[in-house]
Amino acid sequence: MNTLASYIGYAVLLLAPVLLVGCNDTPPSTESDASASDDTPTFTEPYRPQFHYTPPTNWMNDPNGLVYHEGTYHLFHQYNPEGIQWGHMSWYHATSEDLVHWEHEGVAIPEEGNEMIFSGSALVDHDNTSGFADDGDPAPMVAVYTSHYTLDEPDPDTGAETDQAQSLAYSLDGGDTWQKYAGNPVLTHNDANFRDPNVSWHEESEQWIMTVALPEQHKVQFYASDNLTDWTHLSDFGPAGATTGIWECPDLFELPVDGDPNDTRWVLQVDLNPGAIAGGSGAQYFVGDFDGETFTLDEGISEDDTHWVDYGTDFYAAISWNDIPEDDGRRLWVGWMSNWDYANDKPTSPWRSAQSIPRSLHLTTVDDEIRLTQQPVEELHTLRDTHTTLDARSVANETVSLADDGIAGTTLELVAEFEPGDADAFGLNVRTGNNEETVIGYDTASESVYVDRTNAGEDSFHDDFAQRHDAPLAVNDDGRVKLHVFVDWSSVEVFANDGARLLTHRIFPDAESDGVSVFAEGGTAELTRLESWTLNSIWAR
Ligand code: FRU
């Protein structure tokens, strides 16, 4: 039984029907709101992310159907309309004009009968290749998702009790209302596990390309179509890289190398559960070429190598936005900030899970390797409030609170640069207080950046939660290590050396643990730069 099947038992009706709260209805943010009850979202409940997307109530997992259309960023996601644990999977819809503030739009594509709506993508069918639009209708927005069927009787040949196939739904009003395609499913497979279709237009071969996972075979398949309804199998990729767990949620996109539009590569990202670098679920990627038919690894990259998207525990199932305008040109994504090891047990109510901050994707040559690097989107600058800059200082085998320098908070953006000097380790502690701290450090002996959440706060819900996770990272050419950190009420995202390494973690500290300190161990490190911004809540208006 795979992980998904084992979660089906969680389909318990824990909460009243979802309360759809528009952002404008949410009260101003005070972390000590006593009125938070189990089923009325206030957006000030303990651990409620203040600048990360969350649904008002209920369970969420993967981002789905990320697409930009006429000034609006659409974010759909896996959602349980009936409870706070995985089950009754449906697509929930949220929209944003700025990638920062989100409006909750409600369930877009619901579970019906024996069919749950699993992960997938969305696109705008500008030329109406699908024929879903009649004359005069706007271009259809099309969602391509996995139908997860519970069979009336086990399959006589395989004994499987469920089946998966790819289906379509479309909207003729820019995403407000959705209709399932009458000819569903549009693509089947004899493997009962066949899911997470990611479809986009391939310019060169002028066709739709679907990238879809065969989870238990550790394969991604590519299909082509002229009309989104008829699909032809092109090729398979895999097994390759990490295969200790099932493969899910692939994404395929082209990026310039070091910003050079004449030197591009294709990136195939595939999620893995379990067996990821920090334990449980996580994301890997492959760099190569896609010619409209086959994905080929770049010369010099071995099928046996694994490249991790993020070295933290909580970045999964990321997919990138379709249709970002050419004059913007960015490739943007969010990932689910959770881990299947403990996703159903995190101590939050009346909602569960968050999406990461939106990030832009790049291919950057680091240590002779073309690496997928990530940057926080600049749009987040609009949340910056109080700005504090520290003078450079030595940190000599000590931990120094920055409270007297005016640096503290539970929603923070921090940019720190250190010269290692002769210290064994150095870095920042965030969300400190009440014997709690989340450590963001650099270990000079092992040349790695790490996040240690051993004493980060509440961790009793999962035995392996309280751990440290490391990512290999060389000191920059300028002799410094740069840490760009986003701290929220229940997460820490670290972009090390300009996004050369990522560490994304959920933490559950006390609301009062708002301290920040710098530290050095075993010697003296130079803190050459520290800037801090408090960040405003996206829910407070
Ligand atoms: C990944 C995943 C997908 C699936 C969805 C179901 O987290 O397991 O493969 O489509 O979640 O909710």
Q: How far apart are CA 317 and CA 339, in angstroms?
A: 10
The protein residue with its alpha carbon nearest to ligand 1, atom 9, reads 248
Whole-angstrom CA distances from 428 to 195, 359, 468, 520 are 41, 22, 14, 9
Mutate to test the pocket of ligand 1, among 118, 146, 338, 353 (most ligand atoms within 8 A of CB): 118
CATH code assigned at 476: 2.60.120.560
pLDDT of 24 strictly over 50: no
The protein residue with its alpha carbon nearest to ligand 1, atom 6, reads 118
Does 62 qualify as catalytic in the annotation? yes
pLDDT value of residue 19: 29
User: Ligand 1: does its nearest atom lie under 6 Å from the Cβ of 372?
Assistant: no
Count of domains for the chain: 2
Report the range of poorest mean pLDDT among 170-174, 281-285, 300-304.
300-304
pLDDT, tens digit (0-9, with 9 covering 90-100), for 59-92:
999 999 999 999 999 999 999 999 999 999 999 9
pLDDT value of residue 64: 98
Give yes or no: residues 270 and 388 share one domain. no
Torsion of the alpha carbons at 278, 281, 287 and 288, rounded to the nearest 10: 150
| Chosen domain end from 327, 343, 376 | 376
Mutate to test the pocket of ligand 1, among 62, 246, 339 (most ligand atoms within 8 A of CB): 62
Give yes or no: residues 57 and 107 share one domain. yes
Compare 540 and 534 and report the one with higher pLDDT: 534
pLDDT of 5 strictly over 50: no
* Single-letter amino acid, residue 156: P
pLDDT value of residue 40: 85
Domain membership of residue 343 as a residue range: 5-376
User: Ligand 1: does its nearest atom lie under 6 Å from the Cβ of 146?
Assistant: yes
Is residue 387 domain-resident?
yes
164, 193 Cβ separation under 8 angstroms: yes
| Chosen domain end from 353, 376, 399 | 376
Q: For residue 263, give the nearest of 370, 361, 346, 176 by alpha carbon.
A: 370
- For the segment 458-464, the average pLDDT, to the nearest whole number, is 98
pLDDT of 160 strictly over 80: yes
Tell me the pLDDT of the chain averaged across its residues. Answer: 93
pLDDT value of residue 441: 98
User: Ligand 1: does its nearest atom lie under 6 Å from the Cβ of 118?
Assistant: yes
Q: How far apart are CA 20 and CA 8, in angstroms?
A: 24
**Helix, strand, coil: what percent of the chain each, to 5?**
5, 45, 50
User: Ligand 1: does its nearest atom lie under 6 Å from the Cβ of 338?
Assistant: no
Q: How confident is the model at residue 8 (pLDDT cuts 50, 70, 90)?
A: very low
pLDDT of 341 strictly over 70: yes
- For the segment 106-135, the average pLDDT, to the nearest whole number, is 98
Q: How far apart are CA 23 and CA 19, in angstroms?
A: 12
Q: How far apart are CA 474 and CA 393, in angstroms?
A: 22
Mutate to test the pocket of ligand 1, among 2, 3, 10, 61 (most ligand atoms within 8 A of CB): 61
pLDDT value of residue 367: 86
pLDDT, tens digit (0-9, with 9 covering 90-100), for 407-447:
999 999 999 999 999 999 999 999 999 899 999 999 999 99
CATH code assigned at 262: 2.115.10.20
Give yes or no: residues 324 and 420 share one domain. no
Give yes or no: residues 364 and 498 share one domain. no
User: Ligand 1: does its nearest atom lie under 6 Å from the Cβ of 248?
Assistant: yes
pLDDT value of residue 38: 53
Give yes or no: residues 276 and 138 share one domain. yes
pLDDT value of residue 67: 98
- For the segment 306-327, the average pLDDT, to the nearest whole number, is 98
pLDDT value of residue 18: 30
pLDDT of 21 strictly over 60: no
Q: How confident is the model at residue 383 (pLDDT cuts 50, 70, 90)?
A: very high
| Chosen domain end from 376, 397, 429 | 376
Residue among 25, 39, 62, 251 flagged as catalytic: 62
Give yes or no: residues 443 and 497 share one domain. yes
Q: How far apart are CA 295 and CA 370, in angstroms?
A: 17
User: Ligand 1: does its nearest atom lie under 6 Å from the Cβ of 90?
Assistant: no
